[in-house]
Amino acid sequence: MNIYGKTLNELENYFENLGEKKYKATQIYDWLYKKRVSSFDEMTNIKKDIIKKLKEDFVIEKPTIIKKLSGKDVYKYLFELTDGQKVEAVLMVHDYGKSLCISTQVGCNMGCAFCESGRLKKKRNLNTDEIVTQILLVEEDLNIRISHIVLMGIGEPFDNYENVMAFVNIVNCNKGIDIGARHITISTCGIVPKIKSFTKEKLQVNLAISLHAPNDELRSKLMKINKAYPLKEVIKAVKEYIEVTNRRVTFEYIMLKDINDSQKCAIQLASLLKGINCYVNLIPYNETSHIEFKKTKESSIMEFYDTLKKHKINVTVRREFGSEVKAACGQLRSNYEEGI
């Protein structure tokens, strides 16, 4: 088992079961996440018999960076996992900090029509350690400290719920990577039962909903998940989440030319979200060679933005991070797999 997949509490239980003091778990976390060692032998304040036991029970392993692309304020990574599967992460430099968008699955079964990730179907969930080590690898490669994490890469985070919750525990732990809960965002396409489970966690982690359409007819065409969990159910679950947590929710809305970018859609979206403590993040579409959707022109995005503003909806337009790094989610992986 990879030790990067263990929460602090789990390691404390491990040491107590060995008849050792649980503070040794904190020492291990310090070596892993503060000093960033790559072997148990480097843990010089841990007794040799414990080191021997750790080697028997755990490994310290990270994926391999097999491709890296860079553009203005953006770096995109392709990682190879120990079984040969591949996932991506994207580091974006904002004025508020360095944000890493990471993957939670190898492929995705949600099948959103506009998404490159879902074109290559889900192979498996990522283990907790495989999510955690994406952060460590990028920080190590660029010699930086990542300030924000977004679970919006390849995969549906709530389709890998238990591993994602363990990941949040590890990265938020002040003995671990120590990224504040309010600097962590989990994005879901709308798996209602898991939104309800997440509500019960009562975390300060941000919730984002991939919406992308203001009505069921259009959303069902773009996102298969809407047939299982239509907008009425998603919005109800979001309202319950806000009531319990008092947290504002983000609605992600990819702008697709002549599909969901009309003034009619903007008015419908404003009506759908009226009175909800939220903001809408309008996302310029990253075109790919495999999918026919096109990017909405900037002037139309701003007209859509203005309409939402007039209807008292908080809205932002996501800054674009160059197509030169194959920024579409899953694009670098699929091109690599297909030899492009």
Give the predicted TM-score (pTM) of the model. Answer: 0.93
Render pLDDT for 187-241 as a digit per residue (tens, 0 to 9).
Answer: 999 999 999 999 999 999 999 999 999 999 999 999 999 999 999 999 999 999 9
Task: Please indicate, yes or no, whether residues 37 and 164 belong to a single structural domain of this protein.
Answer: no
Per-residue pLDDT tens digits for 137-182: 999 999 999 999 999 999 999 999 999 999 999 999 999 999 999 9
pLDDT of residue 340: 40
Residue 336 pLDDT: 45
Q: How confident is the model at residue 333 (pLDDT cuts 50, 70, 90)?
A: very low
- Residue 327 pLDDT > 60, yes or no? no
| 8 Å CB contact between 169 and 205 | no
Banded pLDDT at 287 (limits 50, 70, 90): confident
CATH code of 46's domain: 1.10.150.530
pLDDT of residue 320: 74
What is the C-alpha to C-alpha distance for residues 308 and 52, in angstroms, rounded to an integer?
Answer: 61
Q: Other CB atoms closer than 10 Å to residue 298's CB: what's the count? A: 12
The residue range of the domain holding 29 is: 3-57
Average pLDDT over residues 51-80: 97
Q: At 241, which CATH number?
A: 3.20.20.70
Q: Are residues 206 and 308 in the same domain?
A: yes
Kindly state the tokens that stand for 20. Answer: 């050792």
142 and 25, same domain (yes or no): no
Q: Average pLDDT, whole number, for the chain?
A: 93
Task: Report the DSSP pairing between strands 86-94 and 74-80.
Answer: antiparallel
Over range 312-325, report the average pLDDT.
79
- Strand-pairing partners, residue 98, are 93
**Separation between Cα atoms, residue 229 and residue 220, nearest integer Å:** 10
Strand partners, 209: 188, 251
Q: Which residues are catalytic?
A: 88, 329
The whole-angstrom separation of Cα 230 and Cα 208 is 16
- Which of 40, 57, 74 is the last residue in one of the domains? 57
The verdict on 227 and 279 lying in the same domain is yes
CA quadruple 196, 222, 315, 326: dihedral positive or negative? positive
Domain identity same for 131 and 232: yes
Question: How many domains, in total, are found in the chain?
Answer: 2
Residue 335, pLDDT score: 52
Mean pLDDT of 89-93: 96
